[in-house]
Amino acid sequence: MKLTNSTRIGISWSIIVAAGVYAFYLSKNDIISKRVEHMKIRERMYTNIIDTNEASKE
């Protein structure tokens, strides 16, 4: 079966769109995981500051 030019273009666009959506999904998950990691670091810093301030008051 011979594919016409419009069929080839349609298949190509489908592949490109699917790859783009998958790349977006991967980058979004990476950004979310980095954000969670930064929030944990920020929380540890905050608790250390509070502990340091309480220790200096005593």
How confident is the model over 1-20, as pLDDT tens digits?
788 999 999 999 999 999 99
Determine the pLDDT at residue 42: 95
| Inside any domain, residue 7 | no
Determine the pLDDT at residue 14: 98
The stretch 32-41 carries a mean pLDDT of: 97
**Residue range(s) defining the domain that contains residue 29:** 24-51
| Inside any domain, residue 1 | no
Count structural domains, the chain: 1
Confidence of residue 58 (pLDDT cuts 50, 70, 90): low
The stretch 21-34 carries a mean pLDDT of: 97
Least confident range from 15-19, 34-38, 49-53: namely 49-53
Q: Is 43 exposed, middle or buried (0-12, 13-18, 19+ CB in 10 A)?
A: exposed
| Inside any domain, residue 6 | no
